[in-house]
A and B are shown apart, each in its own frame.
Chain A
Amino acid sequence: MSRTRIKGKSAACFLLSLLFTLSLAGPSSGAEADNPIKIGVCMPITGPAAVIARDSINGVMIAVDDVNNSGGLLGGRKIKIIKEDDGSQPSQGVSAIRKLITRDKVVGVLGNLNSSVCIATRNICKEYNIPQLALGCSMDSLVEGYPYFFRVNTNNSFQSVPFIRWLVKDQGRKRIVILYENTDWGLNLKDISAQVAQKYGAQILLQEGYTPGSSDYLPVLSNIKKADPDLILSAAMITEAAIISRQARELGIDRSLIAGWGGWAQTDLHDLADGAEEGVLIADIFPAGDPQNPAAKYLVEEVKKRYPDSQPNVYHAQSYDAALTLINAIKSAGSDDPQRIRDAVAATDGLQGSLGKIKMDPQGQNLGITIYPSRWKNGKLELTGVEIVAGEE
């Protein structure tokens, strides 16, 4: 190659790299009068849990819009929500959180939904010292050892131990089958269920696991029918819950034998299960049909007003409460410094949320949870009238 050609080439390379570097610098702040407080929301916007993510994000937006419409925080600054999709995949969640923290410079993160994703992303928030409030992730022992990871919603133990205790001790169920999904969340609930049930004298007849996304439960259900249980415990996402209940109906299994968590408690279940869910018991934490606290009442009204296509449910509630907690922390910290926000979150005590009064324990778990066992009847969830305070033995 001749000298001039090399010169031309390197000049071109230099120009290109200059342009590239300049473009990375990003837009200049310029005349931005509003200096928003940026909060990241990382949820499975696509994938099997997309419906839950939608309701959760809507719950967050109710809290955020309320604040923004009433003058903002820290002297008139508005909250800006930046959403990212984790697709219920840990690897995707990690990239998304990293992007939110390093590129968008969020001061707090709301998310994720799936326990397996939280297990991965809490490390990133820990690495960058950014407070993270889960919008789900109910697997036990997620908060221990992670001072930046908080959970306002219930964990699996809080939700299941009192419920199963009630079923076995008070309702006298003794022959139990556990139907669980093969994920961190499902396995955790299975272990807790087996432990508690046996502690109160029940017998575990069968434990059947399945991969989420399956569409054929007939073999498993045939086995369950043969075992003749008086209680089927099931932690499932809404799609699986719908298919399980319909196939149980096909096989002639009485669905009032089923007591479930997760998808079983979702208000959309009736549309998908087409009446097959009739009789199923669930451990509701947010009985939208009978809200007794003012925050719950307000939330139900707002959801009906702003999102008339969805029924107010626990995902709206727990996410609303998580957003409320973060907002409250920013207010009481008086600054947008993530470290001070984190400390303020940890100190939350007595904040009125839609699930109850929010009080953080030293590990980062909210203690203010009550269980309301409810039953599916005629397409709606009906309270049984029982109330069990979680976290009590």
Chain B
Amino acid sequence: MGIFIQQVVNGVVNGGIYSLIAVGLTMIFGVLDIINFAHGELYMIGAYLVFVFAVLLKLPFALACVLSLLGGAALGVILERVAFRPLQGRPMANQLIASMGLSIVLANGSAMIFSPTPRHIPSPFRDIPLEVWGVNFSLLRVLILVISVAIIVGLTLFVNRTWIGLAMRTMAQDLTTSYLMGIDTRRVRQITFALGSALAATAGVLVGPLLVVEPHMGGVAVLKAFAIVIMGGMGNIPGAIVAALILGVAESLAAGYIGAGFKEVIAFTLMILILLVKPSGILSFGTAKKV
């Protein structure tokens, strides 16, 4: 039983990280109708920014994290203005391909600037092992889980209780009516992109010290994020969170009980099964949105 709990706890922590990336992605899709393949690179850039601030510039760790977060948001705003706004109103395929191009540019750009050498970010928390009720994990991982939860809670409050959140939800439902209601759609677009990108960057900031940072780490992450977004229902934030947790735990259990090589197989099989039963996503009630 002990090992089962261990695997589940691992899975939940991973799920927490996945949810940060996936929620940003689904939010951008829901409000802006943009499928952003470069989202994984924002995650990667978040990690590299911490490397730059904390390791190269030797700033205090907490400050480095906050700056990286802001950097991610800023980059999101820039990308929106430069890459996505000019394509507004065009077929979705155009935006999709533009984002793929962006992904390649950002990943290889990082490889050129930082060299492909994997980097390590020393954090003040190290991998100090803790043991609680027979379950082992490091302090860093606990922190990551706590922070992820706090962010998701904060985000949910933001979306449901603020004017801007209301504006975002309105734009997600009906763009034309939003114009008629006098919503500054351009401002909301910027904010949504900044927020979504900041979330991805935060995931990178959290994961950077835990793993190694290298230019192509965004690729795998974004693939899982898309799987989660589809499972949870595109544009559905609570759905993304639930799906992320399910994926994290499923992967962990699959790796533990069947074999690490089967991790991806189980995860994506699960996605297919869920979609067969509920095509619009786990928490969607209503017709599937045509993509």
Q: Which of A221-274 contact B (CB under 8 A)?
A: 222-223, 226, 238-239, 242-243, 246-247, 249-252, 268, 271-274
Provide the residues of chain B in CB contact with A74, threshold 8 Å: none
B212/A274 in contact, CB under 8 A: no
By Cβ-Cβ distance, the 8 closest A-B pairs, closest first, are: A50-B116, A219-B255, A219-B256, A210-B260, A250-B138, A218-B10, A272-B120, A220-B260
- On chain B, the residues within 8 Å of A182 by CB distance are 261
Tell me the smallest distance from the CB of B14 to a CB of chain A, in Å. Answer: 6
Q: Beyond A209-B259, A274-B122, is A218–B117 a contact (Cβ under 8 Å)?
A: no
The interface residues of chain B lying within 8 Å CB-to-CB of A226 are 3
Q: Which B237-261 residues have a C-beta within 8 angstroms of A? A: 251-256, 259-261
- In Å, the complex CA distance between A274 and B121 comes to 9
Cβ contacts under 8 Å, B3 to chain A: 222-223, 226
Is A215 close to B, CB under 8 A? Answer: yes
Q: Is the CB of A48 within 8 A of B214?
A: yes
B interface residues, how many (CB within 8 angstroms): 40
Given A48-B214, A238-B118, A272-B119, 14 new contacts (CB under 8 A): A48-B118, A50-B116, A51-B117, A182-B261, A209-B259, A211-B261, A214-B260, A219-B254, A219-B263, A226-B3, A239-B118, A242-B118, A272-B118, A274-B120
Report the stretch among B96-104, B124-132, B156-164, B270-278 that lies at the interface. Answer: B124-132
Flag whether A208 is at the interface (Cβ < 8 A): yes
Report the bound CA distance from A168 to B215 in whole Å. Answer: 40
Interface residues of A in 293-325 (CB under 8 A from B): none
By the criterion CB–CB under 8 Å, are B137 and A250 in contact?
Answer: yes
A residues within 8 Å of B by Cβ? 45-48, 50-51, 54, 182, 208-211, 213-220, 222-223, 226, 238-239, 242-243, 246-247, 249-252, 268, 271-274, 276
> Is A276 touching B212 in the complex (CB atoms < 8 A)?
no
Q: Complex Cα distance A242/B111, Å?
A: 20
The contact of B127 among A46, A239, A249, by CB within 8 Å, is A249
Within 8 A of A (CB), among B129-149: 129, 131, 136-138, 141
- Out of B115, B129, B256, B261, which one reaches A210, CB within 8 Å? B261
| 28 A–B contacts, CB within 8 A, in A order | A46-B108, A46-B111, A47-B116, A50-B115, A50-B116, A50-B117, A51-B118, A182-B261, A209-B261, A210-B261, A211-B263, A211-B264, A214-B260, A219-B10, A220-B256, A222-B3, A222-B6, A223-B256, A226-B3, A238-B118, A239-B118, A243-B212, A246-B127, A247-B127, A249-B138, A250-B141, A251-B129, A271-B120
- Is B288 an interface residue when CB atoms closer than 8 A count as contact? no
Q: Enumerate chain A residues within 8 angstroms of B126, measured Cβ to Cβ.
A: 274
